[in-house]
Structure 1
Amino acid sequence: MALPTSTSTTTAITQQYQYQQQQQQQPQQKIGSNITATNTTVPATTVQKQIAGLQFSWVHFLAGGTGGMAGALVTSPLDVVKTRLQSSLYKSAPGSTAQRGLASVLGHIKDTCLILGHIYTKEGPRALYKGLGPNLVGVIPARAINFATYGNGKKLFTELNHGKETTMVHLSSAATAGVVTATMTNPIWLIKTRMQLQQEGVRQYRNSLDCIVQILRMEGIRGLYKGLSASYLGVAEGTIQWVIYEQLKTTLAEHRRQRREILNVAGTPGSASTMATYKVGGKEMEEWVHYLGAAGVAKFVASAITYPHEVLRTRLRQVPMKGEAPKYTGLKQTFQLVLKEEGVAALYGGLTAHMMRVVPNAAIMFFCYEAILHHFG
């Protein structure tokens, strides 16, 4: 009987010893596993974040470029009218709104339509799309850069603001995006403006490439950056537009949320409007309509406040008269000269055509932007 007892005791002692050894090794294994996990997980997490950030950048880049292209294609004829009305080279153009001082909005719209008809009749339908090539070449990268810089800037500024997305975050992001975009794309807009201001039979440039060559030859590299100072003034417009758009989006989203809560409490969710119940791409139709409305209103307000800089920029970019020195040499000089020779009304030349173009343009552009973000989100 002693043998079994001894064997049992030995077995028990052995098991207890093994258990103690396992208990002693467990913390070491945990530490080791943590170290291993930390060594492998941190780089993996960092890489994942970098990849996610890269995808984030390119989605905004793609969305902005696509939206800009769609808007430009639809509203190109109005862009031609707007540019001509802003220029001093077309004072005698029929329906030159700023020169005749028309106050009626309907009169402005009528004049814009008359100018469209005049261009179509006298210069042909292709004239309505003058500058579209360089315009698209400018719009696509400009909007892509602007939306990508804004989207990623907003993410960065939000993180710096302890995760709070405030109006100041929107303002800082928009201002940064505006400066970056204006600096990088000014030469393209200069060429577009020069091409649009050519009259049939008085063509100075054969095409966009010839325009670049002649500018470099006659005006130097600095010639490609004429109007940049006015473009920097335009940063205010983009900033105002983004801030208003974000605020309207937030307000409208809160309105939709409150209405849903009221309907749910009342137990009648089906009584909502058709737009609120019908979904497109996983979102309520009403939300898409709100995107359109918010973008249009934001652009209208921003443009109305900052429009004179558009006229000054166009004057600075227009080609000098043949055999004459440039009439407009700087932002301040241009502003003073326009006021002296043409009056305050000239600072709003082409405003109606501008509004008729930029409001639907902004609505289309932001709609496409939000749709692509939603699709890839």
Structure 2
Amino acid sequence: MGSEDTVGKTGETEAVSTIVNLAEEAKDYREGVTPPSRTFRSICKSLFAGGVAGGVSRTAVAPLERLKILLQVQNPHNIKYNGTVQGLKYIWRTEGFRGLFKGNGTNCARIVPNSAVKFFSYEEASKGILWLYRQQTGTEDAQLTPLLRLGAGACAGIIAMSATYPMDMVRGRLTVQTNKSPTQYRGIFHALRTVFTEEGPRALYKGWLPSVIGVVPYVGLNFAVYESLKDWLIKTNPYGLVENSDLNVTTRLACGAAAGAVGQTVAYPLDVIRRRMQMVGWRHAASVVTGDGKSKTPLEYTGMVDAFRKTVRYEGFGALYKGLIPNSVKVVPSIAIAFVTYEVVKDILGVEMKIPD
């Protein structure tokens, strides 16, 4: 009995100690004291916050996301979608409410881990880059510059994109298919298995190169613009926007919207090329024309440069920006919601809000 009592008391002591430690961590967080090391629990919370941010932001703009992809890959000789409003009405009329959110399940299955990895990778990359910068400059209180934030964002984007690219590949095909498509992908795993068996494992990474190239300015600029705008506003405090050394939700949403607008405008042509390369090999894709510019046979691309050349040659430079308007309408709230949701969830979970200095 003595040994059992000892074990029981030890367990109670450990439980009390754990509760005390958690209370102290929460107290330190509220008082602005950053813990000396990042615990496993803190890492999980950060990943969870990033996943929630991605799922919430992408679901909020799912209809616009689907319309953007349909505009990017539609056949110019069989125009169905002529703009944002008309396109959404057409989808509603022909496929109903569920048609507006077709592919969103696959999209969220991809974007949740993608967003989690992206935000977490940005924080870790920022810490590493800041440490190297301080070592090189010999300045202990040096801060991240906009260029360094761009580099950290680029690293985060490449890591997240590469880790989840096959999901993005099949999401594009699930989004493009309609009720009249001769072959139907029944879901995420069916699409992955079908592409893998019929087109080979390399098909799951079609369009990866323009995706990675595009993610460097896109994600890099998103983080760089957002963080730099926030820092500038906190330092200058125009119109009294700063309250208690922090920006309100509305101002942070505006920073996120500006970041999204800049990033997507620069990277959008690469997104169009990526999406078209993903459709290669799928005979039921409503793609662009070949050779003489009149045939309705889907184009075949030998690579990213060839895809750019044929798109501009047969459809003009403007084809690189097909779907830009609905994408712009989508990106502004989506990026803003993602950044603010991430920070709010981290705040609720008691994780440090900013990259530690």
Same fold, TM-score > 0.5, yes or no: yes
Q: Distance in 2 between matches of 1:244 and 1:193?
A: 28
- TM-superposed deviation, 1:113: 1.0
Structure 2 residue corresponding to 1:301, chosen from 244, 247, 262: 262
Partner of 2:204: 224
Shift of 1:363: 0.8
Indicate the residue corresponding to 2:339 in structure 1.
Answer: 366
Q: Aligned residue for 2:12?
A: none
Equivalent residues of 1:84, 1:90 under 8 A apart = no
Provide, for residues 259-311 of structure 1, a one-character-per-residue CA deviation record: whole Å limited to 9, x for no partner.
7xxxxxxxxxxxx6xx766xxxx886x52222101110011011112210110
C-alpha distance in 1, partners of 2:254/2:63? 23
Aligned counterparts of 2:36 and 2:211: Cα–Cα separation in 1: 35
Amino acid at match of 1:245: Y
Q: Does 1:83 align with 2:59?
A: no
Which residues in structure 2 correspond to 1:1-377 (within 5 Å)? Answer: 52-89=38-75, 92-96=78-82, 111-162=83-134, 163=140, 164-167=142-145, 168-204=147-183, 205-235=185-215, 236-256=217-237, 287-318=248-279, 320-321=282-283, 327-375=300-348, 376=350, 377=352
Secondary structure at 1:93 match in 2: coil
Which of these two proteins has the greater Rg computed from alpha carbons? 1
Shift of 1:90: 6.6
Give the paired residue count. 295
Please state how far the C-alpha of 1:95 moved relative to its aligned partner: 4.1
Q: In the alignment, is the contact (CA less than 8 A) between 2:311 and 2:319 conserved in 1?
A: yes
Distance 1:55 1:169, change over 3 A: farther
Aligned equivalents of 1:347, 1:91: Cα separation in 2: 17
CA distance in 2, matches of 1:134, 1:239: 25
Query: 1: CA distance between counterparts of 2:150 and 2:118?
Result: 13
The letter of the residue matching 1:237 is Y
Is the alpha carbon distance of 1:63 and 1:91 closer, same or farther for their aligned partners in structure 2, counting shifts above 3 Å? farther
Deviation, 1:170, is 1.1
Q: Does structure 1 retain, via aligned residues, the 8 Å contact 2:170–2:188?
A: yes
Q: Deviations over 1:44-98 (max 9, x none)?
A: xxxx855x253443333122111111011110000010000111447633443xx
Tell me: CA distance 1:173–1:121, structure 2 relative to 1, closer, same or farther (3 Å): same
Report if the CA contact (8 A) 1:85-1:91 is conserved: no
What is the aligned-residue identity percentage? 27
Which residue identity does 1:166 align to in structure 2? Answer: L
Contact 1:56 1:152 in 2 (8 A): no
CA distance in structure 2 between the aligned counterparts of 1:276 and 1:49, rounded to whole angstroms: 28
Shift of 1:199: 1.9
- Tell whether the 8 Å contact from 2:103 to 2:174 is kept in structure 1 after alignment: yes
For the residues of structure 1 that align with 2:227 and 2:45, how far apart are their CA atoms? 19
Contact 1:307 1:348 in 2 (8 A): yes
Amino acid in the other structure paired with 1:175: A
Quote how far apart the aligned CAs of 1:217 are: 1.1
Structure 1 unaligned regions, length at least 5: 1-47, 97-110, 260-271
Equivalent residues of 1:130, 1:195 under 8 A apart: yes
Q: CA deviation at 1:142?
A: 0.3
Shift of 1:325: 8.1
Structure 2 CA distance, aligned partners of 1:62 and 1:321? 38
Distance 1:145 1:57, change over 3 A: same
Give the distance between the partners of 1:214 and 1:347, measured in 2 at CA. 29
CA contact (8 A) 2:181 2:284 kept: no
RMSD: 2.3
Describe the shift of the 1:152–1:370 C-alpha distance in structure 2 as closer, same or farther (beyond 3 A). same
Residue of structure 1 in register with 2:24 after alignment: none
2:305 is paired with a residue whose SS is helix
Which secondary structure state, in structure 2, belongs to the residue aligned with residue 216 of structure 1?
helix
SS class of match (1:71)? helix
Q: Which runs of 5+ in 2 are unaligned?
A: 1-34, 135-139, 286-296, 353-357
Once residues 69 and 127 of structure 1 are traced to their aligned partners in structure 2, the CA distance between those partners, rounded to angstroms, is 19
